[in-house]
A and B are shown apart, each in its own frame.
Chain A
Amino acid sequence: MNEVVIDCLGEACPVPLVKAQNKLNEMSVGDILIVQIDHSCAMKNVPEWARNDGHNVEVEEVDDGEWEVIIEKSK
């Protein structure tokens, strides 16, 4: 099981989402992707996309206005 962290701190809305989508495509089922974000808008669309796609998703607020979206690739 691999774990990949991508750092999207300071990047505005669609960038974290696109990076996460591309990264997750390269990964295999069971791998975990952690997306670090501080753009509140990405906090909504990254988990929403991943859940709609059928992956396990969890959001953790690690600091004020800083989140980690943990995605387990499930298919």
Chain B
Amino acid sequence: MAEQSSLASRRSSSRAKRKPKKNQIPIGVLMVAIIIAIGIYLGTQSGKLLLFWATGIAFGVILQKGRFCFTASMRDPYLTGSTSITRAVLVAFAIATLGFAAIKYGYQSMGIPMPGMSYVAPVSLGTIFGAFIFGIGMVIAGGCASGTLMRVGEGFHMQLLSLLFFIIGSLWGAHDFGWWKLNVISKGKAIFLPDVFGWAGAIIVQLLIIGLLYVAAEKYEEKRKAK
């Protein structure tokens, strides 16, 4: 740390002392109180709304405090050679795999229709094309969907613009989705891994792929660092 503190003191440009920072704790306490108040109100309306409220807030806090960024996970390996966020996303995928499998398997074993099966969508050329343009868009906009929302909340003005066009783009996409579904997406085949490999097999295959990607990411970072 001694070396680091000397760095700031060695800088030649002297700056006028900034005004003292505003104490943000009262605002924070107020926000928590408002969040709890809204939560109590939603709880009286329906338990589901309260759950959405709580998970939404929790997701936002984790995203902001963890500096978790799906854009960076795809961009930084190329730009900086760092795969720390890429690996964090892979870990998140692995945890989500177990969670989703547990929920779906639980429903199936009770004989109730599994939730979220409408997201088992066909794989088609549209998947590749859509992923490609989404990738370009999120790097230019400086964030994917969740990242943009999080940064607007942080008060980064430029991304209000991203949010605006994100909404316009989503509406446009929803407007034309029928055509895409009819002409492109429905041409593909929907694959639900447990149908192919069985439940245990599906979990093993998916975790294995995630594990291999994790190792690859680590090797890639080592290689870039050595360069």
Contacts and interface: CB of A to CB of B under 8 A. Distances in A.
B142 A10 contact: no
A48 to B, nearest CB: 5
25 contacts: A3-B11, A5-B13, A12-B151, A12-B158, A13-B71, A13-B72, A14-B75, A14-B142, A18-B79, A32-B7, A32-B10, A32-B11, A39-B156, A40-B64, A40-B67, A41-B69, A41-B143, A52-B82, A56-B3, A56-B7, A57-B4, A58-B5, A62-B18, A65-B154, A70-B8
B4 A56 contact: yes
B151 A41 contact: yes
Chain B, interface residues (CB within 8 Å), range: 35 or more
B155 interface: yes
Q: For B67, B71, B80, B139, which residue has the most chain A Cβ atoms within 10 angstroms?
A: B80
A41 B72 contact: yes
Contact of A3 (B13, B67, B84): B13
B11 A70 contact: yes
Contacts of A48: 80, 82, 84
Contacts of B156: 12, 38-40
A63 interface: yes
A45 B7 contact: no
Interface in A2-48: 3, 5, 10-15, 17-18, 32, 34, 38-41, 44-45, 48
